């Protein structure tokens, strides 16, 4: 390939760097947004339950920026119990895991029963 030329994937033709529609210049410096704009974008995630992707699309920024703003401006997470000890929290986790396992077992039984009765009714 001649020096200063490259294959453009979309066109499949040789072009010089000057003719190429694909920019080889580095992207411009990232845009700065006012702090109140950043806080409003973070509130979409924290208050209105938007996903990071949906909130970023809604305000027209990339997800990475929104994640960075969230780290900076989001309120700290509320602790799991005002005065609970680690052992109390571990006991609660154990109990909740037991309940979850029981609920999953019930769900599996109901799925099998539904399939059985659906087959019987045919």
CB contact at 8 A, 46 and 77 = no
Q: What kind and span of H or E run contains 15? A: strand 14-16
CB contact at 8 A, 80 and 86 = no
Whether the per-residue pLDDT at 115 is higher than 80: the answer is yes
Per-residue pLDDT band at 96 (split at 50, 70, 90): very high
Of the candidates 24, 27, 54, the residue with the CA atom closest to the CA atom of residue 41: 54
Query: CA-CA distance, 70 to 36, in Å (whole number)?
Result: 13
**Chain CA centroid to CA 23, Å:** 29
CB contact at 8 A, 6 and 19 = no
3-state secondary structure of 16: strand
Per-residue pLDDT band at 7 (split at 50, 70, 90): very low
% pLDDT > 90, the chain: 46
Query: CA-CA distance, 91 to 81, in Å (whole number)?
Result: 13
Per-residue pLDDT band at 17 (split at 50, 70, 90): low
Average pLDDT of the chain is 79
Confidence (pTM): 0.44
């Amino acid at each position: 390939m001649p020096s200063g030329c490259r294959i453009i994937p979309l066109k499949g033709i040789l072009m010089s760097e000057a003719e190429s529609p694909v920019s080889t210049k580095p992207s411009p410096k990232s845009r700065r947004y006012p702090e109140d704009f950043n806080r409003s974008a973070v509130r979409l995630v924290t208050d209105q339950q938007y996903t990071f992707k949906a909130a970023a699309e809604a305000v027209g920024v990339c997800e990475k920026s929104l994640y960075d703003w969230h780290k900076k401006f989001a309120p700290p997470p509320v602790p799991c119990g005002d005065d609970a000890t680690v052992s109390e929290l571990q006991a609660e986790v154990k109990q909740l895991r037991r309940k979850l396992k029981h609920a999953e077992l019930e769900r599996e039984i109901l799925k099998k029963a539904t399939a059985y009765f659906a087959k019987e009714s045919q």
